[in-house]
Structure 1
Amino acid sequence: MGLGVLFITRKYPPAIGGMEKVAYELFHQLRCKVDITLIKWGGSNILLPIVLIYFFIKAFIILLSKKIDIIYIQDGVLSPLGIVLKKIFSKKIIITIHGRDITYSNLIYRLIIPQCVKQFDRIICVSKATSDECIKRGIEKEKISIIPNGISDTHYMFTTQKETTKNQFRQIDASLNQKKIILSVGRLVRRKGFKWFIENVIIRLKKERSDFFYFIVGSGPMKAEINKTIAALNLESCVKVLDRIDNDSLKMIYNTADIFVVPNIPIDGDIEGFGVVILEAASCGIPVVASNLEGIADAIKNNKNGLLVDPMDEENYLKQLRKLLDDEKYRETFGKKARIYTLENYQWDTIVKRYIEIFYSFGHNSMPECPLCQSPNTHNTGINNGHYRLYSCNACNLYFIDPVPTENDLKNNYKEYLREKGYKYLNNKLRKYKIQSLWKNRLLLLKKFVNSIDHKQILEIGAGTGEWIETLERNHIREYTGLEIAEDEFYILKKKFHNKIHNSSLISFHTDRMFDIICLWDVVEHFNEIEQNMKKLKKLLRPDGLVVISTVNTNSFSFTIKRGSWRYFIPPEHILYFNHKSLAYLATRHGFDLIYFKTQFQIQAYLTNNKKAQEIRNINIYLYQLKVFLEKIVNPFLFRRGEIITCMLKNKS
């Protein structure tokens, strides 16, 4: 059974707002990863005392009847409920703080909320500004994690039919034709700065030009005051407040807008925790101009997905608006760049991984999900190496380590590995003989499946120190490309093969080319993001192309006998450990047929760099030849029990 999470939120659709969208998306992302139970309220917060009683009764029943490891509370206002549940059930409590829920000016809130939050096991803040406010109120820095809100490209506002949407919107009001739309979305409260923006920026812009219209979408206590300001300044012809509108209408106006503005101003006791509307706008390809204030600075990276302006700096606001209104090419180019950056850095499927990591770190006897099939049905094999633990998946039979090293961890590990071995190791006589034989056999195998291989485009992922590429060169095969993330090895390769080698991971590799053969020789076990790597591999492979994989085998006799002392269990270098079942699953999941599968038994030969053993190196070559002979005799009887797997995949026909 997977990790049990009780998710409690008072902000959930059909109620409308940023926190409601965050709660909805987070829940729907988590439900695929953990065993989650939702308690929600999507109505008015006027009834909050009654809602808290309802939440307590429902949570009490669930905690008595279900396996719950973590209680997750979605904002600070519900923290008193969390304290009660923690005292009764002794569960781990994780809470997200959004901003205003920790800075309320109300005296009762100031006395109660921070004191409750302090007692929780982990506090997730949506921005650095929110984290700073928590620390000011005595919450331990060590308990805080900063995780921004996310965006879902499939469920949010973007449409590919922008011109059609713009025409539909402008048909509503003929006066909008030929006018550029400036848009703001948010609650009509003082910190949003809408009234200040109208009085100080829009009024001056109106005196200069008449080619724009400013829409504010939202409702709140300042609605009447803002409308009164618009009328008093005679701006009805270029400014309009749209009360809360349905999601389809909001989507239409997002995709009609030319510029998005977030003119927040500083207000004591009320902060902008993050600003989901910024992500919504940027993901629609709209240039965003915003105040460099509080959590907004976490949502926007200046000149990447938006333009930051000092709060209440009317001159700078005017400067940025003039440039965007006057230069259509700049506006469109910046909008496209903002969309790409936002989707690369704030997609929910990326953000939710950080929530999962925190949940599992506090879950009682909880297992990490399988990186291949995402099943929570995994178990600890009891094999450890340092702080790395080996798990296996009961669903697809993959073995994997946890925690998963980052790409930087891998680069540093490769650097240490090469330096430990030493460059003399690369020139070892036996090693050279051994690898020439190995790679020659691999090429012969490949030729059985590929006609005219010398005319095929070949991509090697994880080129190492170039043994495969040297083999191709020796056989007059020149159409190859190599990728290598380890910098030291890359520089060795670069000297030999020049521009055919790239210092890049597969995920980071950018090219318009497609390849006939993609080789993962002893590489797939190093992937720390198997799903993303396979998607990228699929994108680079021609429809009739071939993928060849070699990797170690967890069904081998040696793994069965040696387990923790198995020579291939070397984290963090090796992360994933496959067998026939998990490779077959990998193939099927990504639209491939497994057309060839064979395992090979390996008899270890003596290999040394010891200077005193120089004279026996020639003997080692004879030992290696004996090893190869014995392997040829033994391998036909091993079926799937050899140490090394070689398999080939082709796109499903």
Structure 2
Amino acid sequence: MKNTKKPVYITTKDFLVSGESFRLVYDSEFNMLVTTPQPTAENLPDYYESDAYISHTDSEKGLLPFLYQKVKQRALKKKVQLITKLNKGTGSVLDIGAGTGEFLKVASEKGWKIYGAEPNEKARSISEQKGVNLKDSYTEFSNQKFDVITLWHVLEHLPNLQESIKEIENLLKPGGTLLIAVPNYKSFDAKFYKEFWAAYDVPRHLWHFSKESMIKLFSEEIKLTSTKPMIFDSFYVSLLSEKYKTENSFSIRAFFIGLWSNIRAWSSKEYSSHIYCFKKAK
């Protein structure tokens, strides 16, 4: 009998909450890695219960959160400019995994009609204080269609990946724009840090994508129109990876690894993270 067991790409661990080890198994069909074993729906929220999980807070305490929040403000404006350009004006935008609502707040200030979903109750509460009300699941918008849908480092968190992608595609208007930002396990910084690469972030990240993955996973109705690098990610991820590897809160080497990752990506086009811009057929 032929052995169909999928190979283990690397073994890493949850550096943030539990310290548990997980295998990243290579899926040749989609050229991606799958976190194994995956948490159940019941215990997955437990892995997000950490004050250090900065996507669910607006904290600036500590060097890494401070840098993250400062760079985020500039990035938010760039993201809103991007969706406005791709949509050729404002319209309705659904942000899935909206965190504390910062992106939607900026989008609203620029004239967008905003909608959002965030499963974490603490993050939703912070968002509400800014006047941005979020649903706890994007499935609550199943009777609506949107000009733009965004997932900023969220797709890797969604259970039942292909089912989730199908549901998201159905929420998009014909001719609508879908923007997805995800880490790239084929980047230089991923290969350099190996099991310490912070963007693996197991088991919160259930899936780990390549550029090939992001073409194969979507239906023929959804066409990839462009891919944009997220230049800052290599620096932030390298800083966090150094912390996991050496326990140092700051490292000059991390800056040079992040810089070299971006320099290498000029030719390889394998940046630490990418934004994938899709268009749905009319």
Band the TM-score falls in, shorter-chain normalisation? 0.7 to 0.9
Higher share in strand: 2
Whole-angstrom distance in 1 between the partners of 2:59 and 2:73: 15
Higher share in helix: 1
The 1:432–1:579 alpha-carbon spacing in structure 2 relative to 1, beyond 3 Å, is: same
Partner SS state of residue 449, structure 1: helix
After TM superposition, the score normalised by the length of structure 1 is 0.36
**Counterpart residue identity of residue 76, structure 2:** W
- Equivalent of 2:99, from 464, 486, 497? 464
State whether residues 9 and 24 of structure 2, in contact with CA within 8 Å, keep that contact through their aligned partners in structure 1.
Answer: yes
Cα distance, 1:592 vs. partner?
A: 1.2
- Give the 5 Å matches for 1:252-331: none
The 1:420–1:643 alpha-carbon spacing in structure 2 relative to 1, beyond 3 Å, is: closer
- Equivalent of 1:449, from 83, 86, 89? 86
**Counterpart residue identity of residue 542, structure 1:** K
**Counterpart residue identity of residue 644, structure 1:** S
Cα distance, 1:409 vs. partner?
A: 2.7
In the alignment, does 2:52 pair up with 1:406?
A: no
In the alignment, does 2:149 pair up with 1:521?
A: no
Deviation per residue, 1:568-589 (Å, 9 max, x gap)? 11111111111111111013x3
After TM superposition, the score normalised by the length of structure 2 is 0.79
Whole-angstrom distance in 2 between the partners of 1:458 and 1:398: 28
Partner of 1:551: 182
The 1:389–1:637 alpha-carbon spacing in structure 2 relative to 1, beyond 3 Å, is: same
% same residue = 23
- Give the 5 Å matches for 1:338-417: 367=5, 378-385=6-13, 386-414=20-48, 416-417=49-50
Deviation per residue, 1:268-324 (Å, 9 max, x gap)? xxxxxxxxxxxxxxxxxxxxxxxxxxxxxxxxxxxxxxxxxxxxxxxxxxxxxxxxx
Whole-angstrom distance in 2 between the partners of 1:419 and 1:643: 21
Partner of 2:51: 418
Whole-angstrom distance in 1 between the partners of 2:228 and 2:213: 14
Whole-angstrom distance in 1 between the partners of 2:225 and 2:197: 29
Cα distance, 1:495 vs. partner?
A: 2.6
Larger radius of gyration: 1
Deviation per residue, 1:170-221 (Å, 9 max, x gap)? xxxxxxxxxxxxxxxxxxxxxxxxxxxxxxxxxxxxxxxxxxxxxxxxxxxx
State whether residues 597 and 645 of structure 1, in contact with CA within 8 Å, keep that contact through their aligned partners in structure 2.
Answer: yes
The 1:511–1:583 alpha-carbon spacing in structure 2 relative to 1, beyond 3 Å, is: closer
Cα distance, 1:561 vs. partner?
A: 2.2
State whether residues 187 and 265 of structure 2, in contact with CA within 8 Å, keep that contact through their aligned partners in structure 1.
Answer: no
Whole-angstrom distance in 2 between the partners of 1:522 and 1:396: 19
How many residue pairs get aligned? The number is 255
Deviation per residue, 1:523-560 (Å, 9 max, x gap)? 01111111111111122111111100000001201112
- Give the 5 Å matches for 1:496-535: 496-497=130-131, 500-504=133-137, 506=138, 508-535=139-166
Deviation per residue, 1:240-276 (Å, 9 max, x gap)? xxxxxxxxxxxxxxxxxxxxxxxxxxxxxxxxxxxxx
The 1:470–1:638 alpha-carbon spacing in structure 2 relative to 1, beyond 3 Å, is: farther
- Equivalent of 1:637, from 251, 266, 274? 266
Q: Tell me, which stretches of 5 or more residues in structure 2 are unaligned?
A: 14-19, 241-249
Deviation per residue, 1:444-464 (Å, 9 max, x gap)? 2223312122xx110000011
Deviation per residue, 1:411-442 (Å, 9 max, x gap)? 2222x133666957257654432111111122
More contact order relative to length (CA 8 Å, sep ≥ 6): 2
Deviation per residue, 1:591-650 (Å, 9 max, x gap)? 311111133444526989xxxxxxxxxxx9xx9xx99xx79x848724421101111111
The 1:548–1:509 alpha-carbon spacing in structure 2 relative to 1, beyond 3 Å, is: same
